[in-house]
Amino acid sequence: MPSANEILKANISYKNSTAFKIVAPSLVKYSSQHKMSNRYIFFVDMHIASGKNRFFVYDIQKDSIVNSGLVAHGRCNQEWLEGRRYGNEVGCGCTSLGKYKVGNPYSGRFGRAYKLVGLDSTNSNAFKRFVVLHAHQCVPRKEVDPLGICQSDGCPTVSPLFLEHLTKYIDSSTDPILLYIYDRT
């Protein structure tokens, strides 16, 4: 298991990555223009292996990654999806790339969850597909790379502990938080 220092280095490394430097400024601008949080943006980089932290909490005001965790991706209605595939069709079971507004919390079959509203043509069916941010016990607290983690039916699924951390960011924000799921390949 990586130490706290190793995780901090990985967060700094991600923030300094070309992929992050390309997408972050436009998303900060988008967030501001659409009356979304001026404090936090959530990034999910699907290019990173599922056994590594790939869900990042970016603090706009501090210009730093303040937290990161594991996140499952959709299995596209397969027993186990090899590689990466994305979709937006109702019933596809795949992850949808694009910008989301983190919506209201509710209590569902996995406990506390947040509705997600797709803001792009690539994820416009998120609400109809019941794609939500939620936790599941199958997602470990810490990195397990080179092993992969469980897969979802299209939801960005995190560990229960990481959802507790995300809830604090969401609850502290007066405006909705922007979630951006992308693949830099």
Radius of gyration for the alpha carbons in the chain, expressed in angstroms and rounded: 15
Which is more confident, 7 or 87? Answer: 87
Identify whether the C-beta of residue 153 lies closer than 8 Å to the C-beta of residue 75.
yes
50 token code pair: 């599922």
Q: What is the mean pLDDT of residues 94-122?
A: 97
Q: What fold is seen in the domain 4-182?
A: L,D-transpeptidase catalytic domain-like (2.40.440)
Of 12-16, 116-120, 122-126, the poorest mean pLDDT is in: 12-16
Give the pTM. 0.92
pLDDT digits (tens, 9 = 90+) for 76-98: 998 999 888 999 999 999 999 99
Mean pLDDT of 62-83: 92
What are the residues facing 44 on neighbouring strands?
55, 181
How large a percentage of the chain has pLDDT more than 90?
81
pLDDT band at 4, cuts 50/70/90?
Answer: low
Strand order in the sheet with 111-118: 64-69, 55-59, 40-45, 178-182, 98-108, 111-118, 132-135, 157-158
Counting residues of the chain whose pLDDT is more than 70, the rounded percentage is 91
Domains of the chain, residue spans:
4-182
